[in-house]
Structure formats: C-alpha cells, structure tokens
C-alpha cells in the first residue's frame, strides 16, 4: 500500500508511520526536514520491509500543500491518506492574537482540504484495490469547546465538518473517511504532565491501523478516545 502521512516527523504522525511501515510505501511530510529525515531513518532501521520517501512542506501554504500532493502521485495512487498535521495556539476568542484563527484554519483545516482535493481525482478513478481510506485527525475539541481552546477548537470543529462531507461524497467511490477525535495524547504539547494520566501515541495509531484493515463493506466513521480518567 501507499500511505501518505502529514506532520510525520514526531508525535502522532511518527506513530502512524511506525504503525503502517511494514511492507508499505510511506510518503511523509513535515516542516522540519532534519527531524523528518531522522524519523524516516529510524523507522527504516527498525523495519526493513518499508520504503519511505520524505518531503519538507510548510502545510500552512496552499501552494506547498498542492505541490506535495502532486509529488506523492509520482509514486502511485495513495491507498491511505492520514491528514494529521496540526498546530495549537492557546487563547480565547476575545484575547488571542489577531491572526490565530487564520493560522489554525490554514494548518488544521486547509492543509487537509487542499491535499485531499489534489489526491482525490486519482483515488476516485483507481479501481485496482477494494477500497481506499482517508483519516482526518480531529480532536475532542471538535466535539466540545473548552477554556483557552479558542481558534484551535473552531478549526477542529471545521475539520470534523469537512470529514462528514467527504464521507457522504465518497461512499460510491469506495473511499472510506474516518474522523479521529482523541483526547489528551502524550506529545510535546503535554511535556511535564504525568504520562500515566494521558494516552500514548501508539494507542491512536493502533486504532487507525485497525480501522484501515476492515472489510470493504465496513467503515468506522468516527473514533472517539479519551484518557481512562477523562479529559484534562
């Protein structure tokens, strides 16, 4: 399979890459080229059956997102797309920086929108496999606003709406769409928090991988997962 993953240099993106690596071709992007290549090299050293190609991309820039999509297509038609890239700026609507909403929408929503639109024509016309699958990594913030969530929550609500539209539009093309809504997962954003209080990135990666392995007639539309003790 060809698996495209955005924001793949660390955190959840890295966990997705590790989970899907065996016997697959991974097309990975992130903004930091050095860290991205280090991640790819580590995965290759641990899983010899994988093939990995990387590209440094600023996913907040439309032209770079589209160029990345076209770059992916030179390797073949993707079977799985994981729109994972995201960014978080703390603050409330009434006191956050003026450009917070634009920044959050560009990375958390528009990158997934433009990349999906670039890849979808080829995915919709490819009948060599039983089905294809798009995963949009949303958030618990897509379901419930919270203090200091501001534009981040707005952007994740929008990503969930985008996912639901795609789900309806792509049914007849054998393309599944899954919105993934995790609560607190231990990444750089949670440095200093008790690791036992929040989830591991591997928890989310395993769920996404399992959802991708179901029969063609089954689609997991939403994945909601929270820490055992609830949201922080």
Contact 132, 174 (CB under 8 A): yes
Helix (H, G, I), strand (E, B) or coil at 28: strand
Compute how many other C-beta atoms are within 10 angstroms of the C-beta atom of residue 219. 17
Compute how many other C-beta atoms are within 10 angstroms of the C-beta atom of residue 74. 8
| Catalytic residue selected from 94, 152, 186, 209 | 152
Contact 195, 180 (CB under 8 A): no
The rounded distance, in Å, linking the Cα atoms of 105 and 170 is 23
The rounded distance, in Å, linking the Cα atoms of 77 and 124 is 10
- Radius of gyration over alpha carbons of the chain, in Å? 17
The rounded distance, in Å, linking the Cα atoms of 221 and 63 is 30
**Is 152 one of the annotated active-site residues of the chain?**
yes
Token duo for residue 223: 């994945």
Q: Both ends of the chain: CA-CA distance in Å?
A: 37
Active site (catalytic) residues: 152
């Amino acid at each position: 399979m060809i698996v495209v993953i955005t924001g793949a240099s660390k955190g959840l993106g890295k966990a997705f890459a590790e989970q899907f690596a065996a016997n697959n071709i991974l097309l990975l992007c992130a903004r930091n080229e050095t860290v991205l290549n280090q991640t790819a090299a580590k995965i290759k050293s641990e899983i010899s059956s994988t093939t990995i190609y990387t590209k440094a991309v600023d996913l907040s820039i439309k032209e770079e997102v589209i160029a990345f999509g076209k770059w992916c297509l030179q390797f073949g038609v993707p079977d799985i797309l994981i729109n994972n890239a995201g960014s978080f700026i703390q603050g409330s609507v009434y006191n956050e920086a003026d450009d917070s909403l634009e920044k959050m929408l560009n990375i958390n929503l528009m990158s997934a929108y433009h990349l999906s639109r670039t890849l979808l024509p080829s995915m919709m016309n490819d009948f060599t496999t039983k089905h294809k699958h798009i995963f949009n990594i949303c958030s618990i913030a897509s379901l419930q606003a919270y203090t200091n969530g501001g534009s981040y929550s707005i952007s994740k609500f929008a990503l969930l709406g985008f996912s639901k539209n795609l789900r309806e539009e792509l049914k007849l093309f054998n393309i599944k769409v899954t919105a993934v809504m995790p609560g607190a997962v231990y990444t750089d954003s949670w440095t200093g928090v008790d690791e036992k209080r929040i989830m591991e990135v591997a928890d989310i990666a395993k769920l996404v991988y399992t959802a991708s392995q179901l029969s063609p007639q089954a689609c997991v539309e939403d994945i909601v997962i929270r820490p055992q003790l609830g949201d922080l």
